[in-house]
Structure 1
């Protein structure tokens, strides 16, 4: 068990499946106290029960990352249960792939709200706590689509993930010496993300593309690597893809 993860309080959004669930289970197994947020409370409760049955420590709260009050409540539950917050993992995301000419503005709105505002609200909810504690770590889940534009189809999604990468870098500069900041940029990882588009042709393309996906546990290990570094070391960026993925 890693002594640099053991006992740390880690808040994870989008924790009911995929990367969030895998991260919660992995970090709990390493001795972290995990606080799970998502909208599907039945799934959260089942994951928390599994963690507790395995000897870990976990709590959950129904959370909509597009609502600042929900994010503040999630951080509040962490402090209530465990006395502090050490890491915020802003993981919740939506990937609605479709050509821009379809003008799916509802999907654009949701991606902006979840992928950008959700990250900002996670930051807003934790920075005051971290400043009071004198330490903290924010981990934002971006994407390889935040490094180069995935088009046609992923233009708006890439825009939101470029924003996450920019926000992460700006926050790193602003909080240097006080809060560690990490941007994780995965390629194709097995999760529900691939089902996010309302356009059938685009969704089928993405599902086919994701046949090369690596398991969510790969990202969980990358997150653990960033967390377990000594306090004077910050892993600022991690890019990981399936070995066979070209994009």
Structure 2
């Protein structure tokens, strides 16, 4: 027999609206009472009727997560954190992988919109202001992660990539390196700006041949590094945009 909110309320001696609010994490219900209600709901095997709830609230209880490469450590951890948090809030997460291809991103975006998701969390493959503004005008709540334009009026959570690129380059410079290569991605610019700033402080001009763009993959890193080590004046140090690219670069160096 299906467990109802009224049955949970009866066992706890509270009104059924209290149970309903607690299961929706309403702040008007005390933390202690919310935990008591949720614990009993789990024990009894309560399952909310999301279809009925969605008809009254106009919500689907689904959100989309669009990332560049779910196989990377960074994005897999992001996905885990998003899924854990949304599950506790009663939402399902559709995880979409783009391989940093704009065409794939548009496909997933349209699919999520057609499903009527309640929001989308996205690491965009395109950072052109016009494109990002178009996403913001889609009529669905959006949070950008990892990549966003600071000038854009939007919700976002990003890492200080500039500082990471700057500190890494400064460290290599302190070791005496002067021909430092940075294998980067087409979209990511923060670490590249940090890299350039560190070189500038040492009076070293940026050599574009030392900053190849590649896919965020092992194979992409390998191809880029092969070109670097075969140069007439190869770099004495290489740092990469992410771990898969670095692994590929290490393979190329070992094989050289």
Shorter-chain-normalised TM-score: which range?
A: 0.3 to 0.5
Normalised by the length of structure 1, the TM-score is: 0.37
Q: Which has the higher contact order (CA 8 A, sep 6+)?
A: 1
Which of the two has higher C-alpha Rg? Answer: 2
Normalised by the length of structure 2, the TM-score is: 0.36
